[in-house]
Chain A
Amino acid sequence: MSERTIELEVLRYHPEKDAQPHWQRYSVACREEWVVLDALNHVKETIDPTLSYRWSCHMAVCGSCGMMVNGEPKLACKTFLRDYAGPIRVEPLAHFPIERDLVTVIDDFMDKLKRVKPWLIPAEAKAIEAGEYRQTPAQLKRYKQYTLCINCMLCYAACPEYGIIPKFIGPAALSLAHRYNADSRDGGREARRDEVAAYEGVWECSFTGACSEVCPEHVDPAAALQQEKIENTVDWYQAHLMPWLKK
């Protein structure tokens, strides 16, 4: 098995000792098939047990290990060391406050996720005896890709608008709103509109498209947001200029 030594530069921050974050360099003997997360685990186990970071599944499912690798938002468990030459710089996800080392404060995202009401709101509630809400394969396909989000927040770290307008609800949460709006079993579009069509909703998106480029699950949040913009624009013009169309 081939081995090589890489230089890992990690942004460290200890809330009780450091006034501001600083870089720390580790030399790591690593194997060919290692990902960035393996190198971090190796550092924590053999070199520096004080290093803090989040991870869980090591298979791009849990969405915990998002971090900046050489300035680009990445899942540490899906980023192979062999794809990098020279030192590898690892930082906490951009645009989020740093709790400690590579651990970020994600309260803002968790709050926004709740605000878009990411659950089925049936137009008319059915009694359980009346059976399930049925759906054709075509209706499923309409929103399927937007169900694949793992809440890793890479899109928030890539989105310049979220960086300069922290109130912006942002790519993942708005895509999830779109996922339910596009579901044939759902009737909650109007209930979600207060968030989606708010000043802090889809309208702060400038279609940079960075969210879709960095998304590890190919959710394509940028597409979801543009579709919501168009729907909300049509709704707005119908409500204000063509009131006779109002159901």
Chain B
Amino acid sequence: MSRRPYVREESWRWVLRHPRYLRYMAREFSCLFIGAWTFLLIVGLKRLAEGPQAWEAFLAALRSPLSVTFHVVALAFAVYHSITWFNLTPKALPLQLGESFVPDRLVSGAHFLGWGVLSAAVLWLAGAF
């Protein structure tokens, strides 16, 4: 018997093989929106440095249907990034107290709580409500 192993090459199509790989891709694609929004932040800093008129023009330019659409989609991806990140945190940083490990749900839960408190504090300090 002679051996002649058959090799199956992997292409990009693994992404479609199971929903978990699409979820992974959605998580990774959040980087495009977080990156794009950060560049928007940089433009905002530029306009802020240029003076009151430039800043007002920047705020006015933000008010467009395209900008609202971008913000809504970017926010959805950013929130998805946060959820996946906090859900995976206990795997990367397991916490052992005495003999047993703190349950993953508690470690994640503490992060979600901190995220909520921080977000509310920022909104309050910014005078959003």
A residues contacting B by CB (< 8 A) are: 13, 15-16, 20-21, 71-72, 94-95, 97-99, 105, 137-138, 141-142, 160, 163-164, 206-210, 212-213, 220, 222-223, 226-227, 229-230
A226–B91 CB distance below 8 A:
yes
A72 contacts which of B3, B14, B18 (Cβ < 8 Å)? Answer: B18
Q: Using a CB–CB distance below 8 Å, which chain B residues touch chain A?
A: 1-8, 10, 14-15, 17-18, 20-21, 24, 28, 88, 91-94, 96, 98-101
Contact of B24 among A209, A220, A226 (CB under 8 A): A209
**New contact pairs (5) apart from A16-B2, A138-B98, A226-B88, CB-CB < 8 Å:** A15-B2, A16-B4, A97-B7, A207-B88, A210-B18
For B98, the chain A residues whose CB sits under 8 A away are 138
Which A residue sits closest to B101, measured CB to CB? Answer: A141
Note all chain A residues with C-beta closer than 8 A to B24: 208-210
Evaluate contact between A97 and B6: CB separation under 8 angstroms: yes
Nearest CB on B from A17, distance (A): 10
Q: Chain A residues near B94 (CB, 8 Å)? A: 223, 227
Contact in complex: B100, A163 (CB < 8 Å): no
Q: Output the least CB separation between A221 and chain B (Å).
A: 10
**A21 pairs with B91, CB closer than 8 A:** no
- CA A72 to CA B7, docked complex, whole Å: 18
For A95, the closest partner residue in chain B by CB is B10
Q: Who on chain A is nearest to B1 by CB?
A: A16
Which chain B residues border A141 with CB–CB below 8 Å?
96, 99-101
A210 contacts B21, CB within 8 Å?
Answer: yes
